[in-house]
Amino acid sequence: MAKEWQVHEDEASGANYYFNTVSDETTWERPEAIKKMDEAVEERNEMLGLDWSEAQDEEGNYFFYNSKTQESTWEPPKVDFRVSKEEKARLAKEAAKEAEKAERRAQKAAAQAAKRKFLCFFVSWCATPLY
């Protein structure tokens, strides 16, 4: 269990190490239990959406907080992931703009590469002695 592990900082190196309070095991490697818990928290945060986050009060109790509405609740919020037609249209328009910008950057890079190639050829041709 991840609760059994504590994170400590090595004073000499400043690196983190992990101590298991049940088995007295110490390791520099992040324990698998903590990795799994981190993955679960990340997955949960994705499920909560952009506005909601999970937090802890002073007593260690978990609650949920909405940064947009400043609402807090003990129960996990019900998040509606459906996207309105307007939002879909806005996202599609934004994606098209980004694709257009990427295309312009690619064209500019190709033009600059062609210019460099020409200049390199021209400079080497000019530097060739005429006998």
pLDDT at 16 over 80: yes
DSSP letter, residue 58: T
pLDDT band at 131, cuts 50/70/90?
low
C-alpha closest to that of 37 among 81, 4, 73, 67: 4
Q: Are residue 7 and residue 66 in the same domain, yes or no?
A: yes
Domain count for the chain, please give it: 2
Q: Are residue 52 and residue 90 in the same domain, yes or no?
A: no
Say which residue, 123 or 126, is predicted with more confidence. Answer: 123
Strand order in the sheet with 5-9: 5-9, 16-20, 26-27
Q: Are residue 55 and residue 33 in the same domain, yes or no?
A: yes
Full residue range of the structural domain in which residue 22 is found: 2-73
- Structural contact between residues 63 and 72, judged by C-beta atoms closer than 8 angstroms: yes
Q: Are residue 14 and residue 48 in the same domain, yes or no?
A: yes
For position 57, which CATH number holds? 2.20.70
C-alpha closest to that of 25 among 35, 33, 14: 33
Q: Are residue 24 and residue 69 in the same domain, yes or no?
A: yes
pLDDT at 68 over 70: yes
